[in-house]
Amino acid sequence: MKAKVLSLFYLLLVAGAFVDLGAWEESKSWLGKQTGPVAPKIKVLIAEDLDGVYLEVTGGYNVYDPNTHKKLASRFLKKGCFMQPMRGGMKWGEEFPDVFQLLVQPDHPKTTILVNGTQYKGAMYIYQIQSRLYVVNEVDIEDYVKTQLAAEYTQGLDQEAMAAVAIVARTNAYFQSAARRENFWHADAKELGYRGIASHNVNPEITNAVDSTRYLVMVNMNNRDLDGTFAAKVTGHSAGRTVPYHIMYRKDGAAPTKGVTAPYAAMDKASSSWTFSVAVDDVARALKVSRVEDIQARIDGESKKVLAVQINTGNSKEEFSFHDLQEALGKNRLRSSDFSMALKDNVLTFSGIGDGDGVGLCLFSAKVLASKGKTAEEILEQFFPATRLELVDSEYTRSRHVASYMKEKQLQRAQQL
């Protein structure tokens, strides 16, 4: 077997073939036990503060104590059973005395795990904290990106626009994974709309976009911490200008520190206008303050986006970020961070333009640019200055993969002429 593996490796080198992580995964079934690199993963909190959870594995699996790395159980067939915390450990059909955390690891990448009926790829960490259960899904980042985009984009986009969105989502996932490497989880499913693999095949354009840009991320050339990845976002309609991540979120995301202009979105901003009114008593209830006597916006000087609002209750002044305000009033009403407010007769009227918080890639502009023949890389260059595309593996494979990606785009352009 060893000679067979070495012979295959020699032939691949002679042929100049590039074997990515996916090809190696597919080959290991007859090559024997995998010794190559493992696909990068992210840990997502999918359930919390539970008194129990129904956990079903559709195939063979192993159970470990992630604290000691000791194997606790093994099974070749599927299993479905209620898992619950016990005074002296955990129980999943069988009891695990003095164990307060479990790792359920499928034997095969096609084996899935159902958590309260929702299906997931990857492994499951279950933590018992003060007699409550917390469930964390550890999944390949490529699968995670597909799932996340399937939840957010129910309608298809142009191929290059969708590819740009996929690269943004992947960049953000790598950043979250690296920045929170020591945490029990890197992301929260509730905040992301992460719903397992049930929606994977809803839109094949998403699968194609993720697969065609596999392992490609943006790196910030002015900040090479955490391998250069950063907190990358997509906003629906920038109304002509974006705002830097650190200004809107008031924390360092290692992202580019300057916003950009978006001419196509600027020309279209009138058609993106919106307005709604709400009683001040309802605003007070939503924000959990005693009353609203006055409200003022704190605005970014360059982008003109609203970063926060300050409410005068009569007894105190309290500040709420744009995202807190949007969550309280509803994203379907407070659609963007580009708005003004008018308070009259105990009614607060919001009037604005655009869609989203104004950070990162302007989706409206990406659609227009893609329709004009721009590639995903060219689209991203306009919204993320001082960045470039890289593969998340070694420098050699980065340059080979990015070069092949761009060569493919050039060939496609030539065929269209």
| CB neighbourhood size of 348 (10 A) | 18
Distance CA 156, CA 171 (A): 21
Instruction: Using the CB atoms, write b or e for 6-30: b if 16+ within 10 Å.
Output: eeeeeeeeeeeeeebbeebeeeeee
Q: Give, for all 417 residues of the chain, the pLDDT tens digit.
A: 434 333 333 333 333 333 333 333 333 332 234 444 567 899 999 999 999 999 999 999 999 999 999 999 999 999 999 999 999 999 999 999 999 999 999 999 899 999 999 999 999 999 999 999 999 999 999 999 998 898 888 777 899 999 999 999 999 999 998 888 888 899 998 887 788 886 545 578 898 999 999 999 999 998 766 678 999 999 999 999 999 999 999 999 999 999 999 999 999 999 999 999 999 999 999 999 999 999 999 999 999 999 999 999 999 999 999 999 999 999 999 999 999 999 999 999 999 999 999 999 999 999 999 999 999 999 999 999 999 999 886 343 444 445 445 545 555 555 554
SS3 assignment, position 69: coil
Please enumerate in sequence order all residues whose Cβ is within 8 A of that of 158, keeping only pairs 6 or more positions apart, or say none.
367, 370, 371
Sequential DSSP letters for 170-233? HHHHHHHHHHTTTSS-SEEHHHHT--TTTTTTS-HHHHHHHHHTTTEEEEETT--GGGG-----
Distance CA 375, CA 413 (A): 10
Q: How many angstroms separate the most distant Cα atoms in the chain?
A: 84
Q: Do 295 and 343 touch, CB atoms closer than 8 A?
A: yes
Distance CA 108, CA 61 (A): 8
pTM assigned to the model:
0.82
| CB neighbourhood size of 319 (10 A) | 12
